[in-house]
Amino acid sequence: MTTAATGDTLRTGTVKTPKGSSVSVFERQEATSNEIASMNSYMYSRYPKATRLRSATYKYNCHSYAWYSTSSSNIWWMDNPGRYMSDGSYTKQSSAASGQKIYYPMPGNQHSGIITSVNGSSIMLNSKWGAYGLYNHSVIYCPYFSMYQNTYWK
């Protein structure tokens, strides 16, 4: 019997959008407590002005957090949240507002979050940074960027 390494896929599954479409997800092997502490420290060193809301974990990622479940007990990692945007579960909005989903569409660097406040051009959101923690941060103060226009969904 082999032991799964941190981040390895343990099993696959599906979750449903509010309209009932299936979305592929998978569960990953959790990091050790030392790895989690190291990941938390690393992101603090890079983004000290972001507020960490939850520690690093492989239990879920940004797309799963924003589109499927904000629960800390969510175990699903989601590579592609596109079905939530294409099946009518959410409607694209022309501007940002608190409570909406935000999607960074940069190919190879896609990211999702939930907007917590909008003050003029300043947009704050909660988002999960890969296997790193869940953070509250400015739309431009995070490891993700896009040369394309971010989209907002309600």
Residue ranges of E strands in the chain: 9-16, 22-28, 51-54, 92-93, 101-104, 111-119, 122-128, 134-138, 151-153
Mean pLDDT by 10 residues, the chain (154 residues): 89 98 98 98 98 98 98 98 98 98 94 97 97 97 91 98
Q: Determine the pLDDT at residue 2.
A: 66
Q: Determine the pLDDT at residue 18.
A: 98
Q: Determine the pLDDT at residue 40.
A: 98
Q: What is the pTM of this model?
A: 0.96
Q: Determine the pLDDT at residue 1.
A: 60
Q: Determine the pLDDT at residue 103.
A: 98
Are 144 and 102 in contact by the 8 Å Cβ rule? The answer is: no
Q: Determine the pLDDT at residue 146.
A: 80
Distances (CA, A) of 104 to 19, 116, 130: 22, 16, 14
Q: Determine the pLDDT at residue 78.
A: 98
